[in-house]
Amino acid sequence: MTALFGANVGLRLLAPGFLPLWDTWIAGAHHQHLMWAHNYVAFCWQMKELAAALKGYQPDPDDRSLLKRIDEFNYSLYTKRWITRQWLSAHA
C-alpha cells in the first residue's frame, strides 16, 4: 500500500494537473481499493467524468485546474475531515 501511494505522489509531481490525489480515505469514499493499480485507473476516470460534469459550475476561475479543486475538496472532506457532511447539507 505504501509503494502505490508513493508512486502516486511521484507521478503527481510529473503531471499534477492530470493525476488525481489518492489515499486510503479518498479511495474508500469513491468505492475503490487503494492497493490495486486498476482501481487507481478507475478512480482517474471517475475524477475525469466528475470534472467534465462540474466544468460549467466553476464559479470563480483562478490558476487552479478543476482537478486541483476536486483534489482539495476530497482531501479536506475525506482525509482531513475539515468539512463535515452536516456543513455540506447546510450549504447545499
- pLDDT class of 92 with cuts at 50, 70, 90: confident
Q: What is the pTM of this model?
A: 0.76
Distance (Å) of CA 83 to CA 14, 17, 61:
29, 23, 22
The position carrying cell 460549467 is 56
What is the reported pLDDT for 60?
Answer: 76
More confident residue, 32 or 61: 32
Report whether pLDDT(79) > 50. Answer: yes
